Structure 1
Amino acid sequence: MIRVLLADDEAMIRAGVRAILSADPGIEVVAEAGDGREAIDLALAHRPDVALLDIRMPRLDGLAAVPELRRLVPGTALIMLTTFGEDDYIARALSEGASGFLLKAGDPRELIAGVRAVADGAAYLSPRVAHRVITELGGGRMSQGWAARRRTGSLTPREREVLALVGTGLSNAEIARRLHVVEGTVKAYVSAILTRLQVRNRVQAAIIAYEAGLVPEDRT
Structure 2
Amino acid sequence: MTIDVVVADDQELVRSGFALILDTQPDISVVAEVGDGFAAIEAVRAHRPQVLLLDIRMPGMDGIEAARVVCGETDTRVLMLTTFDQDDYVYDALCAGASGFLLKDVRRDDLVRAVQVVAAGESLLAPSVTRRLIDDMVSKLPRKRPAGLDLLTGREQETLVLLGRGLSNAEIAVALVVSEHTVKTHVSNVFAKLGARDRVHAVIAAYESGLIRPGD
Do they fold alike, i.e. is TM over 0.5? Answer: yes
Equivalence for 1:118? 118
Matched letter for residue 187 of structure 1? S
Equivalence for 1:203? 200
How do residues 1-220 of structure 1 correspond to structure 2 at under 5 angstroms? 1-72=2-73, 74-130=74-130, 133-134=133-134, 136-137=136-137, 155-164=152-161, 166-167=163-164, 168=166, 170=168, 179-181=180-182, 186-192=187-193, 194-195=194-195, 201-206=198-203
Is the Cα–Cα contact under 8 Å of residues 163 and 190 in structure 1 kept in the other structure? Answer: no
Q: What's the CA shift for 1:48?
A: 0.3
SS of the aligned residue for 2:42 comes to helix
Shift of the 169–122 alpha-carbon distance from structure 1 to 2, 3 Å rule, reads farther
Is the Cα–Cα contact under 8 Å of residues 124 and 169 in structure 1 kept in the other structure? Answer: no
Query: Quick one: percent identity of the two aligned structures?
Result: 41
Q: What's the CA shift for 1:209?
A: 6.5
Q: Where in structure 2 are there 5+ consecutive unaligned residues?
A: none
**CA distance in 1: counterparts of 2:205 and 2:106, whole angstroms:** 25
**CA distance in 2: counterparts of 1:29 and 1:164, whole angstroms:** 36
Matched letter for residue 157 of structure 1? G
Is the Cα–Cα contact under 8 Å of residues 5 and 29 in structure 1 kept in the other structure? Answer: yes
Shift of the 50–58 alpha-carbon distance from structure 1 to 2, 3 Å rule, reads same
SS of the aligned residue for 1:137 comes to helix
- Please list the CA deviations of residues 161-194 of structure 1 after superposition, one character each: whole Å capped at 9, or x if unmatched: 43256443758xx98x9532496664233212x2
- Please list the CA deviations of residues 25-51 of structure 1 after superposition, one character each: whole Å capped at 9, or x if unmatched: 111111111100001111110000000
SS of the aligned residue for 2:30 comes to strand
**CA distance in 2: counterparts of 1:164 and 1:95, whole angstroms:** 20
Q: Where in structure 1 are there 5+ consecutive unaligned residues?
A: none
SS of the aligned residue for 2:57 comes to coil
Structure with a larger share of its residues in helix: 1
Q: What's the CA shift for 1:110?
A: 2.3
Shift of the 164–110 alpha-carbon distance from structure 1 to 2, 3 Å rule, reads farther
TM-score by length of 2: 0.76
